[in-house]
Structure 1
Amino acid sequence: MASSMTQAQPPLAFIPPDFSPLVWWMARSLLPFRLRQTCGIADIQIANIEQLVTLYHQFEQGNVRFLLAFRHPTTHDPDCLFYLLSHALPKAAKRQGVPLSPQTHAHFIYDRGIPLWAGGYVGWLYSKLGGIPIRRGRADTTSLRVIRQKFASGAFPIAAAPEGANNGHNEVVAPIEPGIAQFGFWCAEDLAKAADCSETGMKPTPPVLIVPIGVQYRYLSPPWRQMEQLLRQLERDAGLTSPSHAPAFLQDGTDPTEAQKTNLYRRLFRLGEHLLRLMEHYYDKFYQAGVAVQKGAPTHASSSTDDQVTLSNEEFSRRLQALMDTALTVAEQFFGLPSKGNVPDRCRRLEQAAWDRIFREDLKDLDVISAVERGLADRVAEEADLRIWHMRLVETFVSVTGNYVREKPSAERFGETLILVWDMVSRLKGKSPFPYPKLGQRRAFLTVGEPLSVSDRLPAYRSNRRQAVTTLTQDLQSALEAMIQS
């Protein structure tokens, strides 16, 4: 959270979508520059775009409603999706001779917390681009009502990231949240109900679809030298000295030798192991959390030059999961929350608990309370902001295991893991991790998947709602995983 969150705030207001064609046009015009300069994306390749052209044409004819469910490995995915819809889609439609409206766009769902750390102007921009904010830690009735209305009758399709947040992994799909499937069934129900109330002779109810969109990235020139430099910086920040016998002469665009790759992996794993021990010691000493600290393991290594690691990948993964559970439990105990559910659910509950103490529903006019009351409110907000720090650390490592790089020591996997470690180390230093380091120019690969019919599942939904939502969610997870290119 931004530093301003250490003071009590008025209730967090809903930002209504207010699409502006002029703002859309300006954003579209600036997008290629933003992709190159800010996102580091030099090229975007799209597979099966012809299917998306057909879907948009059918949508504009009133013959279908659909939601674009896109993968979310990085913070730049929405920019790529915007390019797909505003640049690539019209060009493909023109090649196919299919008429589309001048503005091919989508109402997109975004986390209400983004404008808090990215800046208030982002909330304004997202509103003018038709975005719909949602608070993920509670039943956000206002947002859900708007999403439901836009899905059933909005001027554009809906777009959302079913993983809920970016997981930092190019080739791992985080667990899909059930909200996307639920939105689809709501839309199908609303359209069926509207058809029942309409006069006879009207056109058939349009089918409702969920269209999976795969997103991946590859470096144009693998930035091995830059990654080694970033690794060296992280080692220094963590109190580790880079091994003196580290293979030198790494060059961007040139694959390292097997010995160099092995050395880089050992250093990366050693860094992770060292940070793991530090954090275990931190929670054990200062929170009496009872984390299993390895017997005899040092808690600092300012002069270490040994690149050997002592943990197996499996043991590292197990202890990392235990550490994340401990960090969440520390925050949950402060907020008085139960330690139940999966990690994403626990993170969302903690975020909402912090927001409840920062954005005070019971103090709608902070200007009329006394100075003492305001001071107490600020203290509550400050404590909430400090305690949610534990959750932010966990949020970064939800999809991390000890095997991701070892299974495939590619430049992409090395880079992704280094960025995650950068995020953690920055937070441990008390700094913002944004913007992330730019390691090299990338090419984005977007794949339009086969649509999943929601309407065909409506009878099953009416029979057993929970099971139908679970099944559709699992099918969407499988569809997104099937589009990952190794």
Structure 2
Amino acid sequence: MTNAIIRAQPPLDFIPEQFSPWVRRLLKVIVPGWMRWHTDLVDIRVKNPEVLAQKYGEFWAGQGRLLLAFRHPAPEDAYCLAHLLWRAVPQAGQQQGLSLQPVHSHFIYDRGIPLWAGRWMGWLCSRLGGVSIQRGKLDLVALKAARKLLVSGEFPLAAAPEGGNNGHNEIVSPLEPGVPQLAFWCVEDLNKADRSEPVYVVPLGIQYRYIDPPWAAISQLLTQLEDRSGISGELPKLPELPSAELANLYGRLYRLAEHLLTLMESYYHQIYDLEPPADRDDDANAQLATRLKHLLDGALSVAETYFKLKPKGSVIDRCRRLEQAGWERIFREDLRDEAALSSVERGLADRVAEEADLRMWHMRLVESFVAVTGRYVLEKPTADRFAETVLLLADMVARIEGKNPFPRPSLGKREALVTVGEPINVRDRWSDYKASRRKAVAALTKDLQGNLEALIVDSSEF
């Protein structure tokens, strides 16, 4: 079953950064073997590591502060960053004749991770120099800690501007403005301290590909999902593809997506009176995308109605606020002294927590499909895009069944590519920030989005 929360708990306290050099040294030895044992990732390649090595050299020399903005397509990204910092960058530094100190970074991570991964993960992230943050609110304690580390920390700071992983190798989710704002705050704090170092945001692209296209595994997973979803009948008529095999597989994928969408539309209509979208596009894939967008909006509205929230901002913004609203009912300040509660008070508190967790289910469903489009596979029918989409549908089926979608099914051995992009000098934008903070942050967010998208390469270029 899924990790359902049925008990109210004390509040989620901030987990402070407590970097431990011996933990880093131990993990550097353990991580490669752990990665091969627990994941299907067998190789990590790095492009342009010398760019980051040069910036680390400047960092150690007091000639610049660094904010590493990495793409977040999958949970395995942590292994990619570890390989980049602990192996690829030091090697590139040696080749350039740079004397680099131990290459590492502080980082920002979601406070919710230890909830599903275990308390030990919070301890580990803290000892690796991580700062926990609650994504759905203005977490002033976490922001203050991250801001301090960026200005005077022992290492650069790393963060994922997408917020969470989106399951797509070739789509960058809309960026949140937190990373650009931190960069401008760093310039501001340096100025107050009469320091003139430049502040660089370094874009880091992360992508994965299957070493051997897992067509058979994709077909097998589709069969399992078809059986679990009760699908039968003929395949729909869709645009022609390069081969009959691809056309058949795409037809099955589309049929599964359309079937699940119809089931969920019926569910939300019967239980929550959600009406289907009025306009239907003649193009089947465009119609599917329109229906999905309408369904996700409706699912968020259901949760927002329960928590008495207004539907404000992007889908990601709405998800974050819903998550925080749920956490505030589950992790409560008035439960610090649980012994003071009577059994009846405890029972009522647990009921509130259980209901909040149930309403957050709608938000979790939406989170999985934030970056889904109706033509992603059709535009480039590669095994990697097929696999990404089938795995997202597998997540959806598991959540509907009341199961935990993780760990995901393994479709085959993969390799990763980490690409270091061109650093962005934020100090050069300081005059724009002084003129209009909002516009400067928005402009840097847009430029960073473009830079991360430019780092996406075709899988054949790995």
1:412 to 372, 377, 384: 384
| RMSD, matched Cα | 1.9
2:209 to 211, 215, 218: 218
- The AA in structure 1 aligned to 2:205 is G
- Residue in 1 aligned with 2:238? none
- Does the Cα contact within 8 Å between 2:272 and 2:302 map onto a contact in 1? yes
- For the structure 1 residues 379 and 177, does the alpha-carbon distance in structure 2 shift closer, same or farther, using more than 3 Å as the test? same
1:380 to 330, 349, 352: 352
Kindly tell me the number of residue pairs found equivalent between the two proteins: 453
- The AA in structure 1 aligned to 2:213 is P
Q: CA deviation at 1:283?
A: 0.5
- For the structure 1 residues 12 and 2, does the alpha-carbon distance in structure 2 shift closer, same or farther, using more than 3 Å as the test? farther
- Residue in 1 aligned with 2:249? 264
Q: CA deviation at 1:293?
A: 9.5
Q: CA deviation at 1:326?
A: 0.5
- Residue in 2 aligned with 1:327? 299
- Does the Cα contact within 8 Å between 1:71 and 1:480 map onto a contact in 2? yes
SS in 1 for 2:419: strand
Structure 1: how far apart are the matches of 2:4 and 2:375?
A: 38
- Does the Cα contact within 8 Å between 2:212 and 2:412 map onto a contact in 1? yes
Q: Deviations over 1:57-81 (max 9, x none)?
A: 1111111101110111111112101
Structure 2: how far apart are the matches of 1:87 and 1:475?
A: 29
Structure 2: how far apart are the matches of 1:428 and 1:322?
A: 18
- Does the Cα contact within 8 Å between 1:235 and 1:242 map onto a contact in 2? no
- Residue in 2 aligned with 1:450? 422
- Does the Cα contact within 8 Å between 2:3 and 2:404 map onto a contact in 1? no
Counterpart check, 1:403 vs 2:402? no
Structure 1: how far apart are the matches of 2:37 and 2:395?
A: 21
- The AA in structure 2 aligned to 1:368 is A
Q: CA deviation at 1:4?
A: 6.2
Give 5+ residue unaligned stretches, structure 1.
196-203, 245-255, 296-309
Q: CA deviation at 1:292?
A: 4.5
- Residue in 1 aligned with 2:105? 106
- The AA in structure 2 aligned to 1:230 is L
Give 5+ residue unaligned stretches, structure 2.
236-240
- Residue in 2 aligned with 1:470? 442
Counterpart check, 1:235 vs 2:222? no
Structure 2: how far apart are the matches of 1:175 and 1:55?
A: 27
Q: Deviations over 1:180-239 (max 9, x none)?
A: 0000000000001101xxxxxxxx611001000111111111111111101110111111
- The AA in structure 2 aligned to 1:166 is N
- Residue in 2 aligned with 1:135? 134
Structure 1 length-normalised TM? 0.90
- Residue in 2 aligned with 1:120? 119
- The worse-fitting range, judged by mean Cα deviation, of 90-99 and 80-89 is 90-99
- Does the Cα contact within 8 Å between 2:2 and 2:402 map onto a contact in 1? no
- The AA in structure 1 aligned to 2:199 is V
Q: CA deviation at 1:365?
A: 1.1
Q: CA deviation at 1:162?
A: 0.6
- For the structure 1 residues 2 and 13, does the alpha-carbon distance in structure 2 shift closer, same or farther, using more than 3 Å as the test? farther
Counterpart check, 1:61 vs 2:52? no
Q: CA deviation at 1:2?
A: 6.5
Q: Deviations over 1:89-127 (max 9, x none)?
A: 1122122221111x2110111111111111111111111
Structure 2: how far apart are the matches of 1:140 and 1:292?
A: 37
Q: Deviations over 1:453-475 (max 9, x none)?
A: 11111111011100000000000
Q: Deviations over 1:124-147 (max 9, x none)?
A: 111111111111111101000000
1:354 to 326, 338, 346: 326
- Does the Cα contact within 8 Å between 1:277 and 1:293 map onto a contact in 2? no
- For the structure 1 residues 242 and 233, does the alpha-carbon distance in structure 2 shift closer, same or farther, using more than 3 Å as the test? farther
Q: CA deviation at 1:369?
A: 1.1
Q: CA deviation at 1:241?
A: 4.1
Counterpart check, 1:28 vs 2:28? yes
- Residue in 2 aligned with 1:156? 155
Q: CA deviation at 1:45?
A: 1.4
SS in 1 for 2:398: helix
- The AA in structure 2 aligned to 1:429 is E
Structure 1: how far apart are the matches of 2:33 and 2:266?
A: 46
Structure 1: how far apart are the matches of 2:277 and 2:348?
A: 37
Structure 1: how far apart are the matches of 2:39 and 2:199?
A: 33
- The AA in structure 2 aligned to 1:228 is S
- Does the Cα contact within 8 Å between 1:187 and 1:208 map onto a contact in 2? yes
- Does the Cα contact within 8 Å between 1:20 and 1:129 map onto a contact in 2? yes
- For the structure 1 residues 167 and 368, does the alpha-carbon distance in structure 2 shift closer, same or farther, using more than 3 Å as the test? same
